[in-house]
Amino acid sequence: MKISYNWLKWYIPEVPEPDKLADIFTYHIAEVEGVEKKEDDTIFDINILPNRAHDLLSHQGIARELASLLNIKYVDSAPEYKIPASVKALAGKSELKIDIQSDKCRRYMGRIIRNVKVGSSPEWVVKHLESIGQRSINNLVDAANILMYDCGQPAHVFDLDKVEGGLVIRNAKIGEKMTTLDNRDLELSGQDLLVADFKMALGLAGIKGGKIAEVTAETKNVIIEIANFDPIVTRKSAVRANIFTDARKRFENDLSPELGPYAMRELSALIFEMCPEAIFEDIVDVYPHKQGIRKLSFSADKISKILGLKVSVKEIEDILKRYNFQYKENKGKFEILPPPMRLDLEIEEDMAEEIGRILGYDKVKGEIPEINFKPKINETYKNITFARNKLLSLGYNEVMTYTFSDKGEIELKNSASDKKFLRTNLSDGLRESIKLNQLNAQFLGMNEIKVFEIGTIFKKGKEELHVAYGDKKEVKEMSLAEYTKSAGSFLNGLAGVGDPENRGPEKKTLPMKFQMWSLFPFIARDIAVFAPEGIKSVDVAEVIKENMGNMVTRGPELFDEFKKGGKTSYAFRLIFQSYDRTLTDAEVGDIMTKITNKIKENSGWEVR
């Protein structure tokens, strides 16, 4: 919201200079998003958060807050208002009728004013509106706008002669239509709240007035509205209609219905000042459900604990007096009656925030609390970690197999036919993993496949953590508790020391160092050589090694050998792979050609 420095001075003549005031706003009230220096004024653009929108979206609200915060004088302008004398409705004419048909209208105040003259506003009104970026429309509309930016209560003015019968606050009929003051055609829903007369919709309640009862230069008699509408209904209707107005902003963040009489008095005084010949009828005030009295209790000790700052009873009393709170205090315990406008104060923590904000959060010292940093050991995690590290150190690799199985004790609904059950053991999945990995052992750079798994198995009525490990010869499985128990005294020693069937300090196994594998695809090539009798496989392998370069990650590995016609055939496999790129067939082909040529240079050697 934009706040005029000169406007504030109406209420707090002792207000600090603009430069100092900007810091006070930021550190104690709300963030200042911009400051605009004008020739004879300073305008603050303040980001009022929703929790304080009900009382700070106005110059009076900001002025009261500053006066209490800084303990300076607040000048109440209400006694200066020139209040017109009310008259009963003239003979033969009915008084204003107001019919509230929805509980979403919490209060509706209306007043008929006759013999008004619509025209330009006084210079001071135009100047105040323009200072905060608002344009002057006419004296009656300007009076309603001045009221909203001054005390925070939206208001509306209807042309009385265009209103049929009286005012009805009701829900819209499904499909009912209305044209707004800015000529937008709306189709309403049954959840929208309207201000209507006995025939037509006059405005979308709390959001935008309608065209039918618009005040024009020909208007002679008006109804002024001061109302209070449900914040949720107001917001939903405004979102549906895609309308954003300053009135909507205030209603959707909630306003106290208790603000109504003051606002009616101020608006009446403003119109009387601009239309001194006007005739004012009595105020009609329909207030079906009054705002209740709220009580809030807290203690000085609890406030201190929440803030992490020692706050004395005297400091709290000083704040409550400056902010005009009614309170009782007994041995450091307070019971207060929050002012009707302070809708944000509901629980003890709200009061702690309020006191901390006023004192200044810079007074809260950054002290590190006493914390016992000794971690609490999770036995299950400890045992899992021990088992994992020990098996890794023994050369096993961890795998994770499917929890779902084609057989078991616990059946699942709507699952694939081969995964209809939860597994009852880890061994079945581990054997399948060993089988599949064994086929690619040479491509993985392994001489043998040794794997393990630590996981949950499921039986009727219980779940258990198991450990399974093994190779192509044998798979062993036991519960995690049994596995760690079988490790005996080695559980608290170095990870990897000892094994259930091979324990002993003299048989420590050093942990294996992890080596990252290549992320690029490999190429496998086989080469078979007929060598004369007496030539061993290692002799042929040596020739291959000398000429294969550094792109062979595994091999040459002998995978076939037989004799024929006095010669021996040796078949070798080479795995080509790069760590930084994908190899091409041409690159591998060049190397294989080089190896072939070198082999042929040996007498009696033949590549087949």
Q: pLDDT by residue (tens digit) across 486-508? A: 865 444 443 333 344 444 444 44
Q: What percent of the chain has pLDDT over 70?
A: 93
pLDDT at residue 514, as a whole number: 59
When pLDDT is averaged across residues 110-124 and rounded to a whole number, the result is 94
Judge whether residue 14 has pLDDT over 80: yes
Q: What value does the mean pLDDT of the chain take?
A: 89
Q: Which pTM does this prediction carry?
A: 0.63
Using the predicted structure, report yes or no on whether residue 150 has a pLDDT greater than 50.
yes
Superfamily in which the 523-607 domain is placed by CATH: Ferrodoxin-fold anticodon-binding domain (3.30.70.380)
| Fold agreement between 2-76 and 296-363 | yes
294 burial type by CB count under 10 A (0-12 exposed, 13-18 middle, 19+ buried): middle
For 296-363, CATH gives: 3.30.56.10
CATH of domain 2-76: 3.30.56.10
List strand residue ranges (DSSP E) for 446-543, in order.
Answer: 451-459, 462-470, 475-479, 523-532
pLDDT digits (tens, 9 = 90+) for 522-550: 999 999 999 998 899 999 999 999 999 88
d(CA 264, CA 428): 83
Q: Which CATH class is domain 379-507?
A: alpha beta
Q: How confident is the model at residue 417 (pLDDT cuts 50, 70, 90)?
A: confident
Q: Looking at domain 86-286, does it have CATH number 3.50.50.60?
A: no
pLDDT score of 159: 96
State mean pLDDT over 111-122: 94
Q: Say which range, 25-34, 86-95, 144-153, 313-322, has the weakest mean pLDDT.
A: 86-95
Tell which wins on pLDDT, 385 or 491.
Answer: 385
Q: For 201-227, give the DSSP string.
A: EEEETTTEEBSTT---TT---EEEEEE
From 75-84, 116-125, 229-238, 595-604, the region with the lowest mean pLDDT: 75-84
Domain ranges of the chain: 2-76, 86-286, 296-363, 379-507, 523-607
The residue among 451, 475, 478 whose CA lies nearest residue 394 is: 451
Per-residue model confidence (pLDDT) at position 199 = 92
- pLDDT at position 346 over 80: yes
Going by pLDDT thresholds of 50, 70 and 90, the confidence category of residue 37 is very high
**Could you report the per-residue pLDDT of 308-326, keeping only the tens digit for each?**
889 999 999 999 999 989 9
Quick one: average pLDDT of 150-162? 95
Residue 509, pLDDT > 60, answer: no
The pLDDT value given to residue 198: 94
Q: Where are the alpha helices (DSSP H) in 372-425?
A: 379-393
Helix, strand, or coil (residue 139): helix
Angstrom distance (rounded) from CA 104 to CA 252? 12
pLDDT for 413? 85
- Euclidean distance between the first and final Cα of the chain, in Å? 90
Q: Please write the tens of the pLDDT for every residue from 160-219.
A: 999 999 999 999 999 999 999 999 999 999 999 999 999 999 999 999 999 999 999 999
Contact of 281 with 86, CB cutoff 8 Å = yes
182 burial via Cβ count (<10 Å: 0-12, 13-18, 19+):
exposed
pLDDT digits (tens, 9 = 90+) for 61-109: 999 999 999 999 999 888 888 877 776 654 445 589 999 999 999 999 9
- Which tens digits make up the pLDDT trace of 426-474? 999 999 999 988 877 766 667 788 999 999 999 998 999 999 999 989 9
Distance of alpha carbon 307 from alpha carbon 293, whole angstroms: 27
